[in-house]
Amino acid sequence: MNILIVGTGYVGLATGIALAKKGHKVRFYDKDKEKIKLLKKGKLFFFEPLLQEALKEFTKNQNVFFFDNLKEALENIEIVFVCVGTPILKDGRTNSKDIEKAIKEIKKYATKDLVVAIKSTINPKVYTSIKNILASSKFHLSVNPEFLREGSALNDSLNPSRIVIGTENEYAKKILDKLYAPFEAPKIFTDPMSAILTKYASNAFLAMKISFINEIANLSDRIGANIDDIALGTGLDPRIGKDYLKAGIGFGGSCLPKDTKNMVKYAKEIGIRLDLINSVNKINERQYKVVIEKLQKHLVSLKSRTIAIFGLSFKGDTDDLRNSISLKIIKDLEKEGAILRLHDYLAFKKAKKIINNAFISDIPYFVAEGSEAIVIATDWKEYSHLDWEKIRKLMKGNLIIDGRNILDKDLLKKIGFVYEGIGRK
């Protein structure tokens, strides 16, 4: 089938490349000409391991095409996937400017019947606005949310746990059913509002599990229990499940914080209180403070103390700094007057553009040098394989605050570190 992807972020590119891998002809359109120029050369403008390789491979064969002109891109297209960003404003409301603009342009240039599948995360209000813009028998609207994670975007798109198609339009249902035939995942056909809420409910549930285990971890810290054992002992109950029970300094990224906030705000606007999800956000917003408290417990004043932060991206295997918890810690430490040394394997370049008064490097040993404490803020798996004996010698102090509970605490203690995890005995 001839498919057009509008918007070339994580969702757009992973969706399009996955569909190309299944034999469909895929065009990508982005209003950003620079991005399209890079993509034509097979280059990604963010880090996403398998996607980069697949992109190179597909730009060589003739299944994938890139456009910066929507009118041309739309010629002979049967399905358009809308994958543009839907950021939120400071108060939690959606900034729907970009998506509404994209929909208006699709309307303007479409010449024949078109299935419009919305992959961007939208709330019911934005959906209604899109539906009004596309109120013509030519457009067959559906909501087809995406559940991929950064770091495993292509794999998640190729092997989805489920495919949710929300539409009131029989033609859209038939075409999308055919399109997804090569995917071995359960398909849930539903109405648009239920598809929208399925996406929000999924992200809210994941966020809830994280805030839940973080709250238990804080309690565990106080009574000297071990959160690793608690998470295992709880998560092995199949009704609970062990994923997303990793305690730490909270969830970041472009989705969980945004979608949960937007959900609470939208519900409030229509007179519904989402107390549970609101609490999930509140817990998350203050969770990182445990790092500051633990540093103060050992160092007392943080003024002029040299502190190394290991990890700047919101999670490992990505260079994405959006809503990174690490940045919140850095801001607080700056206010306390600490001297900062920062490490990240990938995000160090982006960090250099936004952080001024700190030494920033992609080599952990350089960053550790002369520091009185190290804070692990991102779950880069490489951190557990570092030469910690060497790091101990390079440091001025011996304190480790493991904000992601990823290091071998017994080994570190043996080397001579004072180790604190989050809720780890």
Q: Residues interacting with ligand UDX, by CB under 6 A? A: 146-150, 203, 206, 210, 244-246, 248, 251-256, 314-315, 379
Angstrom distance (rounded) from CA 328 to CA 378: 12
Catalytic residue among 255, 256, 342, 374: 255
CA angle, 419 then 420 then 423, to 5°? 145
* Least CB distance to ligand UDX at residue 58 (A): 22
Query: Is 255 a residue of the active site?
Result: yes
Rounded distance between C-alpha atoms, residue 177 and residue 297, angstroms: 58
49: amino acid identity, one letter:
P
**Contact by Cβ (8 Å): 185, 160:** yes
Q: In angstroms, how far is the first alpha carbon of the chain from the final one?
A: 56
What would the two tokens of residue 215 be?
Answer: 């709250």
Measured from the CB atom, is 46 or 366 closer to ligand UDX?
46
Any idea how long the chain is? 425
Query: Least distance to ligand UDX from the beta carbon of 91, Å?
Result: 21
Q: How far is the CB of 198 from ligand UDX (least distance, A)?
A: 11
CB of 146 to ligand UDX, least distance (A): 6
Residue nearer to ligand UDX on the CB measure, 149 or 173: 149
Nearer to ligand UDX among residue 24 and residue 246 (C-beta)? 246
| Rounded Cα–Cα distance for residues 34 and 278 (Å) | 39
Neighbours of 308 (CB within 10 A): 28
Smallest separation (angstroms) from ligand UDX to the CB of 229: 16
Residue placing its CB nearer to ligand UDX in the complex, 70 or 283: 283
Cross-sheet strand order for the sheet of 399-402? 358-361, 339-343, 306-310, 373-376, 399-402, 418-420
In the complex with ligand UDX, which residue's Cβ is closer, 114 or 206? 206
* Secondary structure (DSSP) of 72-100: HHTTT-SEEEE-----B-TTS-B--HHHH
Active site residues: 255
